[in-house]
A and B are shown apart, each in its own frame.
Chain A
């Protein structure tokens, strides 16, 4: 038996492609509240196993993070494990996976299937938690039609009371209150494609019936979710060196006595213009994006009460890609709240490869909250953060 396993396992592993990284991260915080952490040191790892065959594909991704200063950030998670059966014109996938939807750069109002990993970093939506889903995707020459069921809802994870990003100053319950059983799946139908006439347009349009992406907190700080029917779209139009982006979701919350939220629209639009070879190989991207959350009934919770991060906000940004052998990229920008302009958020990031295997990521953020309103940023407080992250990729 041992000999059999010893023979089979290496040959099985050889048929898999293994990639990932191990890294270290140091963060320094400067914030008003003296009871909050001043720094955090963490080790992280990500390992992906992938097998791609003509009939079947298999993917598994494991994520690890050990924070030596904030135990609430520590986790080990099999974030993705799914199998895909390939047919001539379609794919059927079953398992847990991260699924992205959207067109914009800073925030994606329609990216609502795989929830953000708030425990990892509430200010960085690159980190997502895998969702259990079954998806059938049909491909024709013109369109791609997807039908999926997803769910097994669970509470978002937040830092403990000493965490900078815990806005309630106490430990947040890990209970999730659902309108019906939280195991009842949501269902999505989506059609997407490319129109390629005078202008090239990538479009997607769809509908989701199930739990709404927007959650609230009860008096006991338990998370609450409501059933809704959501229509969504995300689109990118290319013209010359400019991309025009638009995405929106319209949520029709089910009527019920307990619900403290009502129907809303969340949309964003943006422009990305690229200036190529400005100096030697350096490309410069100019970005502008606007986000708006609209409450359709003023008797229900407002965007501030709902902790909507960008409810009427303008983002202006710059991306400098030096196109050198280290792939050095500098990204910076400012988000201004148009309701009261003293709420601002600044961001700068430098990424560069070292010795072809390490990736250095320097990230600076400064949050200046509103002094007139109670918003998510005002609950965090005036705040600056510097992060150094070094990863070894294999």
Chain B
């Protein structure tokens, strides 16, 4: 009888959950990593399944107004040691610089439009930036739908330069971990689908180990495999500066 009451109450509370409330719960299980260091392998598949790989070292520092991140490419060999430094800002354009080792040059990148492809992959820069709830609007108060143990909500990017008109987010009803996102292009047609897999709990924070992104219009696919991820390494803001960009 007690279980039945709990079930009825939790179902009632779920039915009343807005998209934004769900986003708060999603953020709660993935926030608090403070900083992260990892090795990622990005495998690009063309429409015929031919693949090519990129390997990179990634580090990220969590920030209240946006994360700082550094990506250093290890393969392909012609771009080895090329490094990308990003200061994300929720309230204005991101700052972004690239270090080109062949030229010994740090170059600023215009980063207003984040819809461009990241290294020829099916991921755009905005797909790889933080997914915090402040960056989206949740239009319908009671939009969350439950289906097959998934909570489904829609969100609209606040950034008017986003490449997407909306995203449909599938969240595991028990863990509140994102399982799938469907991305709609600016013509409101379904463009891409990302599957988030291999979640691991590292130092009490849930982190995904694999993202499988398919472009449903071109049939191209990119898989990012995250390995050797460590959280709370004691990284500081000064580790994410042009000084360290040149020293990678």
- Which residues of A does B touch, CB under 8 Å? 19, 21, 50, 52, 57, 84, 91, 98-100, 102, 126, 128, 137, 139, 141, 144, 194, 196, 200, 202, 236, 238, 240-243, 272-274, 276-277, 280-281, 283, 322-327, 353, 356-357, 359, 391, 393-394
Further 19 A-B residue pairs, CB within 8 A, beyond A100-B104, A323-B116, A357-B76? A19-B77, A19-B80, A19-B81, A21-B78, A194-B95, A200-B95, A200-B108, A238-B95, A238-B111, A241-B112, A241-B113, A274-B110, A276-B115, A277-B113, A277-B163, A325-B52, A327-B120, A391-B78, A393-B80
For window 115-130 of B, CB contacts with A under 8 Å fall at 115-117, 119-120
Interface residues in chain B, defined as those with a beta carbon under 8 Å from any beta carbon in chain A: 44, 46, 52-53, 75-81, 93, 95, 102-105, 108, 110-113, 115-117, 119-120, 163, 218, 238, 241-243, 247-248
- Which residues from B are CB-within-8-Å of A357? 76-77
Which of A57, A281, A327, A393 contacts B247, CB < 8 Å?
A57
Residues of B within 8 A of A144 (CB): 242-243
**Taking the nearest CB of chain B, how far is it from the CB of A297, in angstroms?**
34
Contact indicator B243/A139 (Cβ below 8 Å): yes
Can you spell out 22 A-B residue pairs with CB atoms less than 8 angstroms apart?
Answer: A52-B247, A57-B247, A139-B241, A144-B242, A196-B95, A200-B93, A202-B108, A236-B108, A238-B95, A238-B110, A240-B112, A241-B110, A241-B113, A243-B108, A272-B110, A274-B110, A274-B113, A277-B113, A325-B44, A327-B79, A356-B52, A356-B76
Give the residues in chain B near A139, CB-CB below 8 Å.
238, 241, 243
How many pairs of residues, A versus B, come closer than 8 Å at their CB atoms? 96
CB-CB under 8 A from A99, the residues of chain B are 104
Task: Give the chain A neighbours of B247 by CB distance below 8 A.
Answer: 52, 57, 84
| B-side interface mostly | loop
Q: Which residue of B lies closest to A105 (CB)?
A: B107
Q: Which residues of B contact A240 (CB under 8 A)?
A: 93, 110, 112
How far in angstroms is the closest Cβ of chain B from A196? 7
Write out the residue numbers on chain A whose beta carbons fall within 8 Å of the beta carbon of B102: 126
Write out the residue numbers on chain A whose beta carbons fall within 8 Å of the beta carbon of B117: 277, 281, 283, 323
Contacts of A57 in B (CB 8 A): 247
Q: B242 contacts which chain A residues (CB < 8 A)?
A: 144
A91 touches B116 (CB 8 A): no
Max chain A C-beta neighbours (<10 A), residue from B52, B78, B79, B93: B78
- A359 to B80 Cα, complex, angstroms: 13
